[in-house]
Amino acid sequence: MPMTITEKILAKASGRKEVAPGDIVEARVDVAMAHDLTAPLAIDSFRKMGAKRVWDPERVVLLFDHQTPASSIDAAMNHRMIREFAREQNIKHFYDMFAGVCHAVLPERGFAQPGRVVIGADSHSVTYGAFNCFATGVGSTDMAAIFATGKLWFRVPESILVTANGSLKPPVVSKDLILHIIGDFGMDGATYKAVEFKGETFSNMSMDARMTVCNMVVEMGGKNGVMEADTITQQYLEERGVKSVNPVTSDPDAQYVETREYDASALDPQVACPHSVDNVKSVREVEGIEVDQAFIGTCTNGRLEDLEIAAKILKGRRVSARVRLIVVPATYEVYRQALERGLLKIFVDAGALVESPGCGACMGCHIGVVGPGEVSISASNRNFKGRQGSPESEVYLASPATVAASAVEGKITDPREMYG
């Protein structure tokens, strides 16, 4: 029976020759991750289950990224609880607050590899699908079940095929394309389904850009996003000490419940308007809306390529006096590279606030909380009402280039006017 990438990975992980959409399988998990806001409940559930040891201390990754350094006594207590658990269980890959955003850290350290099952207690765990693995998010009690048994049940999802052709014209980037796709599908257009990305637009992208695409699959309801592995994937992994990879491909006659095609060459910069991620418009339609806060960072757009394009726009310019621009490199590796390449100097010279790696202003509980009546433009992934702070605030989602240009002008601005 012909199978998709997702079906093949789940079949192998559950010890079956083949699986079909709708099958319930118990899959072996290769890597399990939890962070400072989901690990405490997972540890609670783990203990209440009566479990004593994690199934494999080398396959668990624990780190802090949502509230680092601790933003409150409660956050500090969560950190302490996780530290003690990591020590007690001899968790090999425990990074405390010295690594960065989980979804940028795991790929950097070579955990996301073709054919693997990588599960995180965080919805944006779908990011890792850019590396040709099955990756999805679960809640804390499911994570506790993985900690205890190394396995979890999944319903094999139907697959959707999304193809894109043509080259994106900088400063239009992969974020603009995935926002456009989400606007087209709607925020539940892919619920429970695997979304497979194919075509020259994606194969011409760097791993940084591909991760942005897969990262946002959950914003259209998708269970996982997945791409093929190619020389760009292999080179990225080789640089991180992964010697051999075994790419998984979909069979030519594999079944898709839906297929959509996009032309990337004609795309304008895109903006998702309040209060839903599928309320997507061309930047031209919303130009001129005044903003109070601008934010570049997160698992969606806090990697080196994202900071580079923002720096290109900010170099020699000043952030508007009415705006606070917050820049948060996703990881310490990104931070160090941005430092070495002079990007952080450009940000500071432009009047930006550069913060230490973490989730930053994304979810309204730490750095850069937005107040009532304020408007935020953000290179993150969610703009639900109250997401970045007050329920009376508004969040516009855009690419790092659009956020940088808007920070300079103090209002939503087409980055093409400042690029090149």
Residue type, 330: A
Shorter beta-carbon distance to other proteins: residue 71 or 204: 71
Is 100 a binder of other proteins (CB under 8 A)?
A: no
Q: How far is the CB of 160 from other proteins (least distance, A)?
A: 14
**How many residues of this chain interact with other proteins, rule: CB under 8 A?**
51
- 410 close to 396: Cβ distance less than 8 angstroms: no
Is 258 a binder of other proteins (CB under 8 A)?
A: no
7-25 core/surface letters (b: 16 or more CB in 10 A; e: else): bbbbbbbbeeeebebeeeb
Cα 79 to Cα 8, 43, 96: the distances in Å are: 38, 12, 8
DSSP letters of 264-331?
GGGPPPEEEPTT-TT-EEEHHHHTT-B-SEEEE-HHHH-SHHHHHHHHHHHTT----TT-EEEE--SB
Shorter beta-carbon distance to other proteins: residue 75 or 323: 75
Partners of 294 in the β-ladder? 325, 377
Of 5, 29, 61, 75, the residue at the interface with other proteins (CB under 8 A) is 75
DSSP 186: -
For the beta carbon of residue 283, count every other beta carbon within 10 angstroms. Answer: 24
Binding segment for other proteins among 187-195, 198-206, 250-258, 305-313 (CB under 8 A)?
A: 187-195
CA distance 383 to 127: 18
Of 37, 112, 227, 254, the residue at the interface with other proteins (CB under 8 A) is 37
Is 41 a binder of other proteins (CB under 8 A)?
A: yes
Is 48 a binder of other proteins (CB under 8 A)?
A: yes
Q: How far is the CB of 140 from other proteins (least distance, A)?
A: 4
DSSP 371: P
Is 118 a binder of other proteins (CB under 8 A)?
A: no
> What is the distance of C-alpha 9 from the center of its chain?
21
Is 84 a binder of other proteins (CB under 8 A)?
A: no
Q: Which of residues 359-398 bind other proteins (CB under 8 A)?
A: 363-365, 369, 382, 384-387, 389, 391
Is 188 a binder of other proteins (CB under 8 A)?
A: yes
Is 148 a binder of other proteins (CB under 8 A)?
A: yes
Site residues (CB under 8 A) for other proteins?
A: 24, 37-38, 40-41, 45, 48-51, 67, 71-72, 74-75, 77-78, 120-123, 125, 137-142, 144-145, 148-149, 153, 187-188, 191-192, 221, 223, 276, 363-365, 369, 382, 384-387, 389, 391
